[in-house]
Amino acid sequence: MDTNEGTARSPRPRNSAATKELLLTAATAEFAEFGLAGARIDRIAERAGANKRLLYVYFGDKDQLFEAALHRQIGKLAQETPLIDGDLVAYAAARFDFMLAHPETARLAAWLRFERHGHSSQTEIDSYRAKVDAIAAAQREGRLDDGISAADLFAMVLRLTESWLDAPPALAAATGTDARAPHRLAEHRAALLEAIRRITAPGAGEQRHTTDA
């Protein structure tokens, strides 16, 4: 006689890590599109194909879910755009590529500034501090121009990496180009890296002063 006869099968254990990942992916898309205030828990659960109840079980509430999605995205950005030995040109190339491939990152950051003005996560602060320290070290060692402070230089590079991706649509229209055409993106990427190379190369500040004089 089959000892399992008449015995109900136990349900398969739920893969909580996979479910959390699905919910975070869905939440990232939802928050990027609608912001914190406009996002809806029902839509996030539907996007993820998960029970809404699990969202509260894993993340508590919508605010905590937003923090988790933001933390995850910052982690991805930091992992894929390392600043090694203060090499700002390589960093800018990696960051441009990441922001192009993950436009939701810029949208999340924009919603954060708009809806939570002045709010910064400790993860983000620590990431930026490490990069500014790496730039300062490279300046002290003569691998980067020291005519501009490390913090200012990093701030400029951050904005430059998004300058075309975040440019007004009218700018592309005014130049008669498709802003997202592969050849246009390649041209801008090359120009971006050349600009950063020129302003960060050792002695760049002295060359600027000589030209100005």
Spell out the domain ranges in the chain: 15-80, 81-114+121-205
Rounded to whole angstroms, the Cα distance separating 206 from 201 reads 10
pLDDT, position 46: 95
For the chain, the straight-line distance linking the first and the last C-alpha, in angstroms and rounded, comes to: 99
CATH numeric code, 81-114+121-205: 1.10.357.10
Pick the CATH number of 15-80 from 3.40.50.300, 1.10.10.60, 3.40.640.10, 3.40.470.10: 1.10.10.60
pLDDT, position 118: 67
Rounded to whole angstroms, the Cα distance separating 105 from 167 reads 16
Residue 186's identity, in one-letter code, is A
Question: Taking the model in full, what pTM does it have?
Answer: 0.84
Q: Are 94 and 81 in contact, with CB atoms under 8 Å apart?
A: yes
pLDDT, position 123: 80
Rounded to whole angstroms, the Cα distance separating 48 from 94 reads 29
Which ranges of the chain have pLDDT less than 50? 1-13
Q: Are 132 and 150 in contact, with CB atoms under 8 Å apart?
A: yes
**Which residue shows structure tokens 């509260």?**
56
pLDDT, position 3: 41
pLDDT, position 195: 97
Q: What percent of the chain has pLDDT over 70?
A: 89
Nearest one of 195, 159, 165, 160 to 180, comparing CA atoms: 165
Rounded to whole angstroms, the Cα distance separating 199 from 145 reads 8
pLDDT, position 7: 38
